[in-house]
Structure 1
Amino acid sequence: MQARSASDRLTLDPETVERFRHDVLALTGVAPGAQPLGLAVSGGPDSLALLLLAHAAFPGAVVAATVDHGLRPEAAEEAALVRRLCNQLDIHHDTLAGTVPAEGNLQQGARALRYALLADWARGRAGWIATAHQQDDVAETFLMRARRGAGVGGLAAMAAARPLGEALLIRPLLGWSRAALQALVEAAGIAPVRDPSNQDPRFDRARIRALLADAGDLPPDRLAAAARNLRDAEAALAWAEAREWAARAVQEGDVLTLDPAGLPRELRRRLLERAVAAVRAAHGLSPDWRETGLDPLLAQLDAGGTGTIAEVIGRTKAAIWRFELAPPRRSH
């Protein structure tokens, strides 16, 4: 049998390409063209599959970027591998370099850097940024967060689309399995990059990935389905939260009042978090804050008491919650 040429190997099954096109258009609403589709391509099998699929589905309307976090000496060569493949496909490619802060969680820092660099790169260059998160990623994240006792929002599947700077971040592969994407790359004759952190037991995700590989009764597709159901539940709760906030929250000078009567605990908790953020924002403080301590404050308010969190004091008076900026602490 005659061996397939390189160009033949890069020609994908039309049904597979059409499936990907459908998944992208469901998120973008229009086909990339004058506004290109930006791709985040690390060189791993998932992102290489994303690159091949996007090139086949939207030829001439794709640009790509690889982020070098400065964490491994191999990263520069991995970015060069992606660039060579992009050159072969006639896709413009950029390498985005940055440094992850030494303090804090390493993987969270890398993620924050990655999205910041991609948002800046897409400005004026791409209307959308597609990442290669897929079904197995959703299942792994679900188990990681369930292990930590996360609520509905934490267990919900990652959003398929959300704003990122001036672009829209999209995840068109959430319904695709890791195995299917890897098979696509293998059939193209491309050797992907293998990130050693994916097998490093120091990281939660690597341990959960190993657990799923050994546990036949934890199928990733079913775990991902549960996470998608919780995404729908989260959307419903967010809708109810917005409705109740509009009906129950009143700003009176420096004081924000909130009537919690008759609301289930989850909505009381969400409105409490929103009230704290609103008071902080009204005084020029960042509305983003760590919610550690929110549950004890909710218990205090439910019991008719007073508590402070994130420089905001909350009190219950005649069954109404009152929030204002806490007075500065006295120094001795």
Structure 2
Amino acid sequence: MIPAHALDVLAPYPRLLLAVSGGPDSVALMLLCAKWRDQGIPAHAPDIAVATVDHGLRPGSLAEAEQVGAWARRLGFTHHLLTWSGEKPATRIQERARDARYSLLARCARETGAAAVVTAHHADDQAETILFRLTRGSGVAGLAGMAPVAGLDGTALLRPLLGWRKSALIDICAAAGHPFFTDPSNANDAFARARLRKLAPALAEMGLDTDALLRLGARAARADAALDACASELRARALLETTPESARFDAGALRAAPLELLQRVVATEIARLAPQAQIRLDRLERAAAALAAALCAGKTLRLTLGGLILESAPRFLALRPAPRRRTTPPEAGDSS
């Protein structure tokens, strides 16, 4: 049984929105939260509601979502049924469904005043995520896996069960005599994660089992935190001036820094100045390498990334918004 303190991360939030699909993981989360609330742990329990997303990708999904609503109300929770409407994509279905799901959950949280969305990701999910990212060549941050506390469109995203195995969650459902649904897409070879699951026994024989992947993730998380701390110190030491729209750093302070730290300083500023920018790691790496080479050579370099101009000069590195592209033809005689 999962101890009560597993849910301590939820206590500071006055209102929570549980993401419950109807699978054993999220049903167990709902059961645990009901017990946590009923036993008075903590003394001032948060107000908890449940949300289920109907992706509309297979027959019966709406009926399942409605059944989850009945289960939630039986446990004393308000239930919100969220629908991913409109035409569905033909490619990258799971990725886009996940994005739509998180967007719907974040919007529901804002509309209902929930301070956090809670998901039932567990240790097996974490190991699978680390393996998936390993196959994609992720950096240290990616190999750290999912964080127990993260952000989601201005709302907190909480994963209180990352330290617990899926088998323990199934046991909770069994002990309560509570039914759950099984998603057939989990065994569909059309999806990369399903194919990875089928490779798990062979990988485990070679030593790359769930425990090994979790150790890798924990070590990557420690390394990532250390690198972030060093990058923060470098940023503070090198910063010359900052505004809501720009930043300027001392080139000398950055010149001797390891490339990874320079890259993280640049990434932090891009996230601050252009929070909507989605930049692939390989593009960030190329930009950071080019800036580092220019800094070391004392040359001037200007490049655009994430809607910002990054300019390296002998004495400074600056970031500022790129000019907006002209959307209409210039007037006759306009040579600007």
Is TM > 0.5 for Structure 1 vs Structure 2? yes
- Distance in 2, Cα, partners of 1:127 & 1:137: 24
One of 252, 263, 287 as aligned partner of 2:257: 263
Pair 1:40-2:47 in alignment: no
SS at match of 2:255: coil
Q: CA separation in 2, counterparts of 1:315 and 1:200?
A: 47
Residue 218 (structure 1) aligned with residue 208 (structure 2): yes
Structure 2 counterpart of 1:154: 142
Distance 1:84 1:325 in 2: 50
Aligned to 1:4: none
What letter is aligned with 2:277? D
Q: Which residue of 2 aligns with 1:78?
A: 64
Distance (Å, rounded) in 1 between the aligned partners of 2:275 and 2:165:
39
Q: Is the 8 A contact 2:20 2:27 kept in 1?
A: yes
Which range is displaced more, 78-87 or 168-177?
78-87
Seen in structure 2, the aligned counterparts of structure 1 residues 295 and 190 have a Cα distance that, compared at 3 Å, is same
Q: Which moved more, 1:191-200 or 1:137-146?
A: 191-200
How far apart in 2 are the matches of 1:42 and 1:191? 12
3-state SS of the aligned residue for 1:293?
helix
Other-structure match for 1:140? 128
| Counterpart in the other structure of 1:6 | none
Secondary structure of 1:90's counterpart equals coil
Match of 1:240 among 227, 230, 254: 230
Relative to 1, partners in 2 of residues 1:243 and 1:99: Cα closer, same or farther, differing over 3 Å? farther
Percent identity reads 34
Task: Name the counterpart of 1:58.
Answer: 37
Partners of 2:86 and 2:103 in 1: how far apart?
11
Deviation at 1:227, TM superposition (A): 0.9
Instruction: Note the alpha carbon deviations across 1:38-77, whole angstroms, 9 max, x for none.
Output: 3111001111111111111212853211111222232111
1:7: which partner in 2? none
1:23 aligns with 2:10: no
Q: Which residue of 2 aligns with 1:297?
A: 287
Residues paired across the two proteins, number: 306
Q: Deviations over 1:258-305 (max 9, x none)?
A: 431221121011122334455xx3xxx655232342222223223225
Q: Is the contact between residue 100 and residue 110 of structure 1 (CA under 8 Å) also seen in structure 2?
A: no
For 1:67 and 1:328, the matched residues in 2 are separated by 38
Residue aligning to 2:333: none
Instruction: Map Cα deviations across residues 299-329 of structure 1 (whole Å, 9 max, x no partner).
Output: 3223225252324444443264344455678
In 2, distance between residues paired with 1:255 and 1:165?
24
- Which residue identity lines up with residue 278 of structure 2 in the other structure? W
Q: Do 1:135 and 1:221's aligned partners in 2 also have CA atoms closer than 8 Å? A: no
In structure 2, give the amino acid aligned to 1:56.
Answer: K
Task: Pick which of 296-305 and 313-322 moved more.
Answer: 313-322
Q: TM-score, normalised by structure 1?
A: 0.80
Deviations 1:132-186 (A, max 9, x none): 0000111011011111111111111211012435643211110110112122223
| Gap change, CA 1:268 and 1:115, over 3 Å in 2 | same
- Report Cα offsets for 1:237-270 as digits up to 9, x if no partner: 2222222212213348977344312211210111
Q: How much does 1:86 deviate?
A: 2.1
1:101, CA displacement in angstroms? 6.5
Q: Deviations over 1:7-43 (max 9, x none)?
A: xxxxxxxxx36x1x20111x1344x7xx344311100
Change (3 A) 1:298 1:38: closer
Label 1:239 to 1:209 Cα distance change in 2 as closer, same or farther (>3 A): same
The letter of the residue matching 1:52 is L
CA–CA separation in structure 1 for the residues paired with 2:250 and 2:198: 46
**Which residue of 1 is the match for residue 42 of structure 2?**
none
Give the letter aligned to residue 274 of structure 1.
Answer: T
Gaps of 5+ in 1: 1-15
Matched with 1:110 is 97
8 Å CA contact 1:38, 1:62 repeated in 2: yes
Give, as a single letter, the amino acid of the residue that structure 1 aligns with 2:22.
G
C-alpha change, 1:243 and 1:76, in structure 2 (3 Å) is: same
Residue in 2 that maps onto 1:198? 186
The RMSD of aligned alpha carbons is: 3.0
Residues 183-238 of structure 1: CA deviation (Å, up to 9, x unaligned): 22233333321112211122221112222244333221331232123223222222
1:8 counterpart residue number: none
Counterparts of 2:86 and 2:57 in 1: how far apart (Å)?
Answer: 8
- Choose the corresponding residue for 1:321, options 314, 317, 320: 317
Q: Which amino acid letter does the alignment assign opposite residue 268 of structure 1?
A: L
Q: C-alpha distance in 1, partners of 2:100/2:65? A: 16
CA distance in 2, matches of 1:238, 1:107: 31
